[in-house]
Amino acid sequence: IVKGGIDGAVELIGPGRAQFAVHAPPIEAEVDARRLATAVAHLVADVCGVDSTGKTRAVPGGGYVDSTVVVAAAQRGDVVR
Sign of the dihedral defined by the CA atoms of residues 68, 7, 10, 81, in that order: negative
pTM here?
A: 0.76
Segment 29-67, tens digit of pLDDT:
888 999 999 999 999 888 887 766 667 766 677 666 677
The two most distant CA atoms of the chain are separated, in Å, by 46
CA distances 40 to 8, 22, 52, 61, Å, are 8, 12, 17, 31
Sequence ranges of the domains in the chain:
2-80
Segment 15-36, tens digit of pLDDT:
888 889 998 888 888 889 999 9
